[in-house]
A and B are shown apart, each in its own frame.
Chain A
Amino acid sequence: MTSTIVLEQVSKSFGKKTVLNNININVDAGQIFGLIGPSGSGKTTLVKIIVGMDHPSAGQVQVLHTQVPNLGLLQSIGYMAQADALYNDLTGKENLAFFASLYKLNKESQKKRIAYAADLVELTPHLTKKVQNYSGGMKRRLSLAIALIHDPPILILDEPTVGIDPELRKSIWEEINRLKNNGKTILITTHVMDEAEKCDQLAMVRDGEIISNGSPKDLKNHYNINSLEEVFLKAGGKKHENNRIS
């Protein structure tokens, strides 16, 4: 299988503080890859480095065999930030249209994509409302719709289901699976263990290091435990050993 996202010995420090330490990741095409770890472990920092919004202090990142950062590459990446970055004084539709116009899309497909993305996250009836009147969950959904607006082959979603009710969360995961079946590569971060089960591959992050990685099944088998939560605790306990299992 071809690797879509490759990180080689990536480290990042802010001033003296090391936030990421020697991260190596390989994300295969058509996979759902989960980055799981408690908050503050460095997931967002890692994801921003992959998108090219931040620079690693050391190491290399390649996406689609192209060195990051690269402007052209951003046409192929759909990014959903952890914190909703929306224009509150614009309507949902205006937000979608603005972001759509930043990508190479003709007028016709812009319209189609806006309708598709809004429908997917069930925001169609609220599109003419200003975002400042949206609930937290609606904002998350709009952010997801914006990430999908240009139909990118790679999706990078930073805690996409935070603040979304269980029903919609389920439908979002269904959509993520559907996108995966369409051949898209999806990198998702989460601190919720039960979401980790839904990923094809996992990397457990703690204090800026990957303490364990592999498929959920492999991880559980390796530690002989039934829940990923315990895997996380166990792997974290001996993080100085080599925990690569698959």
Chain B
Amino acid sequence: MRTIALVKRVCIQMVRDKRTLALMMVAPLVILTLLHFLLSSDTTTPKLGVNGVEESLINELKEKEIEIIQYDQLKNPDQLIKDENLDAILQLEGDQIDLTITNDDPSKAKVLQTKVLQAISTVNASEQATNLANLVEDIGRQLPNTPIYLPQAKVPEFNTSYIYGSSDTTFFDQLSPILVGFFVFFFVFLISGIGLLRERTTGTLDRLMATPIQRRDIVFGYLIGYGFFAIIQTIIVVFYATKILDIMLVGSLWNVILINLSLALVALLLGILLSAFANSEFQMMQFIPIAIIPQVFFAGILPFEGMPEWMQLVAKCMPMYYGGNALVDVMYKGLGLSDIKNELFVLLGFALVFIVLNILALKKYRKI
């Protein structure tokens, strides 16, 4: 009964607080949209200055979507790159190949370098094939009546197939499941934490302790009250991400919602738990770099296998690690419920532990 009274009150307060409601419902969508367009936009075609490069190689490079600008002579490539705003300069002199790269964006530089190398080796391979064919023809002419069979040298055909995703997969596709989960986690944390904090700072929590309400009534009242809004938020975010932004979703939408709801539950409880250790909204904000931001690093953005062992242990203490992994499994890899059930159980375990800790933390206000 008392829990219901609390749920009702939390809901009225939330609905009246339009700004907070908007922050919870709209802010994640805005950020997701921004990131979507930032991360999945096509990379601009790189500009390559060339000097002394044969026509065949230039064609090969153009085929790889590189813009070619030819220079007859090059005195000072470093200066030219800066002046002409090029990404790289390729110079060929005899057997010597010089590639000068700006490297202002290392990942783009790597891609460009790989493309240039591929182009050169393709051209070389076909040149050699032609040379070989010519050689065979020569020998054939010099040694008449000697049949020479040489299988036509061909540039081998190269096929790439992908287990997860496709050649069109962008960084955003792999990142977005984690981001969806993270934003649900972050905003639910923030709003529920500040909600209970306000109750503490205005003295109403203290005042509640003079009524026969039980500590667990308070925890469950907040859990259900804010949980209601967290559910709505989760559903909005997931639908927006998958239906409107068209983020890659290979697995089941329901599993995605299930994972995000578990994450929201953990975030909600963590928020109200940490609010016990904050005396103001500002102090609540101070928990963000400590308790929230690190989670995103361990959620699958950085490769887990590459971490030192102790970091892997840290990762395993973070709810986002399980949430992020499960979301990538479902959205990107298309795995099913049986593959993510362990992660879900761990998240529920976190929730249970946080419920107990919350009830204990309220002991600060009343012993019974």
Residues of A near any B CB (own CB < 8 A): 51-53, 55, 69-72, 74-75, 77, 79, 81, 83-90, 94, 98-99, 101-104
Contacts and interface: CB of A to CB of B under 8 A. Distances in A.
B136 to A, nearest CB: 89
A75 B211 CA distance: 7
A85 B211 contact: no
Given A98-B5, A98-B9, A101-B1, A53 B368 contact: no
A89 B198 CA distance: 11
B212 A52 contact: no
A75 B213 CA distance: 10
Interface in B338-368: 365-368
Given A69-B368, A101-B5, A102-B5, A89 B17 contact: yes
Given A74-B211, A99-B211, A102-B213, A69 B367 contact: yes
Which one of B202, B211, B368 has the highest number of Cβ atoms from chain A below 10 Å of its Cβ?
Answer: B211
A89 B212 contact: no
Contact of B2 (A69, A79, A89, A102): A102
A71 B211 CA distance: 8
Given A69-B367, A69-B368, A102-B5, A81 B13 contact: no
Contacts of A89: 13, 16-17
B12 A86 contact: no
Of B2, B16, B212, B365, chain A has the most CB atoms within 10 Å of the CB of B212
A75 B13 contact: no
Given A74-B212, A89-B17, A102-B2, A83 B203 contact: yes
B17 A53 contact: no
B13 A87 contact: yes
B210 A51 contact: yes
Contacts of A81: 203, 206-207, 210
Interface of B: 1-2, 4-5, 8-9, 12-13, 16-17, 202-204, 206-214, 365-368
A117 to B, nearest CB: 15
Contacts of B366: 52-53, 69
A130 B8 CA distance: 17
B212 A90 contact: no
A98 B214 CA distance: 15
B202 A88 contact: yes
Contacts of B206: 53, 81, 85
Contacts of B204: 85-87
Contacts of B368: 52, 69-71
Nearest to B205: A85
B13 A53 contact: no
A103 B9 contact: no
Contacts of A103: 211-212
Contact of A53 (B5, B12, B365): B365
Contacts of B1: 101
**Closest 6 pairs between A and B when the two form their complex, measured CB to CB:** A85-B207, A101-B5, A85-B203, A79-B210, A74-B212, A102-B211
A102 B210 CA distance: 10
A43 B210 CA distance: 16
B210 A90 contact: no
A51 B8 CA distance: 26
Contacts of A85: 202-204, 206-207
A100 B127 CA distance: 91
Contacts of A88: 202
Nearest to A74: B212
B10 to A, nearest CB: 10
